[in-house]
Amino acid sequence: MRVGKEGKIGESGRTPIVPLHYLLAIPPLPLTIIKLTDVFRTRLQRLPPSHLIRTITTYNPAADWHLSLQPPTCLTRLLPDSFPPFVYPSPTYESTWSHPLVRDNTVFKISPATKEATKSLINQPPYDIYHLFVRVLTIPSPPFAASFLLFKGQTLVHSGATRHASKLRALFMALCNGLTYNSLSNHIRIFLPDLSLQPYLFRSHKHPLLDLSHTFLSLLSSFLLGDPVHHVDLFRYSIKWSGLPGMATVDTLSEEQQRIVFPDPPPSLLLPKARLLRLFQEQYDLLRRDSRIWQSIIRPDGRPPPFIEGALSCKDRRTFSSAVQLAFDHAFTITYSDIFRRHANDNPFCPEHSTPTPSTLLSPLSEQARFDLLMAEQHRNPRPSQSPDPSRASLPRPQRLSPRGRFQRPSPRNHFRNTTDHVLFHCSPLSSPRRRFFGSRPFDPYVFGTFHGAVSLGDFQRATNRLLRPLPPQPDPP
């Protein structure tokens, strides 16, 4: 597109820098620095307590000042007031935890046979077996919310919900909370909604959810050590299956979390990437996007610009294509012809002379009839003749400095170039439809920068049939 070319290399020495970030989806440097700072702060929180970066603020042999002073530095600004609990990862040769009394059936793909077998386990549970269901609640996010339901037989004995900025962490926290029930015994069947947690459940080496994996494995180990007959099975299920138990409780938990979860969560509860996109969107909303170059840029939230949405709402393929062409100066105008069709002999002038003016529309007489009427009036009321002065016969006749006479033949109409601005905002024969569709706002930022401006542009084009097709060629000279 010509707009993209102008934005990247700058036509006529003008390079719009600000739209480049949104056109190429590259966040500005200040926002990128904020994201990198958040990532580095998270990495500092995950360091072991014995790491030198964490201990240098409290024990620094090379310091010339007393450590109680704690002068502000870049490191002290990044370190949090309190660190989360740290879990040392297991060695590489013990990266996967296993137990003979734990059977993981989530590795098998759901087939019609496994689906029916799992549904029969859910709908016909023995009275002394515990069933633990975990799922993500359907509420506006982030932060995400997950719930757990613990059944003994067909009786609900425990339930609850968790919240976190990460969906996986919220689901894993719900699973761990469900296993903290004090009266677990005999046999536990855990039903997971998908495979998102499967890579982290029994992995004790380095990964983002290592603290929750350590908690989960500790709870399983404590349960299995309680009695030799204890064992655990894990299955997969779908929240779309009919006849699942506890759906009323799930709806109640969703309503409770709906009142707790922020409709617009603050940036402190968001992940670094989500926070970057939030700041990017806020900066986009504060910018003035009146120029036509913004109509080729998708907003950070993924929605098209307001002008494109308004053009699509017309539900007319021809007017939508014409609106996009007008926004990027690739339309049937002389601007496009001068750049890309210099030798095509296109008609460069607006056909005003063939279009009746508003004053003519109010009169039943045509322009030729009005001219004949003026000539007839001039013949009926001629100017008084004056006898020439012999003494001034040799002097040159002075030129008239006053306006032309009322009965003089009108001059030919001026020719205006067929440009987008002229047709939409200045063409005098189109003043009536312009006022009807654009009202008191016939200017470029309104038409090409708003939703309603695009709708008005489509109505204007359908009513006037202008800029939808090339102009007819100029008549041949006599």
Give residue-wise pLDDT tens across range 395-429.
455 555 445 544 444 444 556 777 877 788 888 78
Judgement on whether residues 121 and 243 belong to the same structural domain of the protein: yes
Domain final residue pick, 211, 245, 260: 260
Closest CA to 303 of 281, 282, 287: 281
340 lies in some domain: yes
> Residue 357: what pLDDT?
42
Judgement on whether residues 190 and 335 belong to the same structural domain of the protein: no
DSSP class of residue 425 equals I
Kindly report the average pLDDT of the chain as a whole number. 77
**Sheet holding 231-236: strands in order across?**
102-104, 231-236, 187-192, 129-136, 144-152, 155-164
- Distances in whole angstroms, Cα of residue 410 to Cα of each of 36, 365, 402: 72, 16, 15
CB 437 within 8 A of CB 466: no
Closest CA to 322 of 442, 417, 423: 423
CB 203 within 8 A of CB 96: yes
Judgement on whether residues 124 and 170 belong to the same structural domain of the protein: yes
Which amino acid does the sequence have at 437?
F
Is the Cα torsion angle 236, 240, 243, 246 positive or negative in sign?
Answer: positive
> Residue 130: what pLDDT?
94
Which amino acid does the sequence have at 72?
P
CA 49 to chain CA centroid, Å, is 41
CB 128 within 8 A of CB 153: yes
> Residue 3: what pLDDT?
42
Report the DSSP pairing between strands 231-236 and 155-164.
unpaired
- Residue whose structure tokens are 């506006």: 140
Is the Cα torsion angle 364, 367, 369, 371 positive or negative in sign?
Answer: positive
- The SS3 of residue 236 is strand
Judgement on whether residues 252 and 181 belong to the same structural domain of the protein: yes
How many alpha carbons lie under 13 Å from residue 72 in its C-beta half-sphere? 1
- The CATH number of the domain holding residue 141 is 3.30.420.10
CB 185 within 8 A of CB 228: no
Judgement on whether residues 474 and 333 belong to the same structural domain of the protein: yes
Start-to-end Cα distance in the chain: 41
- Structural domain harbouring 198: 92-260
Judgement on whether residues 236 and 323 belong to the same structural domain of the protein: no
How many helices and strands (H and E) does the chain possess? Answer: 20, 6
Judgement on whether residues 197 and 315 belong to the same structural domain of the protein: no
CB 90 within 8 A of CB 56: no
Judgement on whether residues 322 and 188 belong to the same structural domain of the protein: no
269 lies in some domain: no
362-369: long-range contacts (C-beta < 8 A, 24 or more apart)? none
161 lies in some domain: yes
274 lies in some domain: no
CA 103 – CA 68 distance, rounded (Å)? 54
Which tokens go with 321?
């294509």
CB 464 within 8 A of CB 433: yes
* Angle of the 317-327 helix axis to the 451-464 helix axis, nearest 10: 110
CB 55 within 8 A of CB 44: no
Judgement on whether residues 326 and 204 belong to the same structural domain of the protein: no
44 lies in some domain: no
Closest CA to 156 of 255, 251, 246: 246
| Per-residue model confidence as pLDDT tens digits over 170-180 | 999 999 999 99
Judgement on whether residues 193 and 255 belong to the same structural domain of the protein: yes
Cα dihedral 34→35→41→47 (10° resolution): -160
pLDDT tens for the chain, 478 residues: list them: 344 444 343 444 444 667 767 766 677 788 888 888 888 888 888 888 888 888 777 777 776 667 677 777 788 788 877 777 788 888 888 888 989 999 998 888 878 888 899 999 998 888 889 999 999 998 776 678 999 999 998 899 999 999 887 889 999 999 999 999 888 888 999 999 988 888 899 998 888 888 899 999 999 999 999 888 999 999 999 888 888 999 999 999 988 887 766 666 666 667 788 888 888 888 877 777 666 777 767 777 777 888 888 888 888 888 788 888 887 777 777 777 777 777 777 777 777 654 444 444 444 444 555 555 555 555 555 554 444 555 444 545 555 544 554 444 444 455 677 787 778 888 878 888 888 888 877 777 788 878 888 888 888 888 887 877 777 666 666 5
Judgement on whether residues 452 and 321 belong to the same structural domain of the protein: yes
23 lies in some domain: no
Label residues 171-209 b or e (16+ Cβ within 10 Å = b).
bbbbbbbbbeeeebeebbbbbbbeeebeebbbbbeeeeb
408 lies in some domain: no
- The SS3 of residue 436 is helix
466 lies in some domain: yes
Question: 174 — alpha (psi -120 to 50), left (phi > 0) or beta?
Answer: alpha
CA 251 – CA 263 distance, rounded (Å)? 18
Contacts (Cβ under 8 Å, ≥6 apart) of 340: none
Judgement on whether residues 316 and 353 belong to the same structural domain of the protein: yes
Which tokens go with 50?
């014995």
> Residue 86: what pLDDT?
82
Domain final residue pick, 260, 280, 305: 260
CA 249 – CA 154 distance, rounded (Å)? 14
Report the domain count for the chain: 2
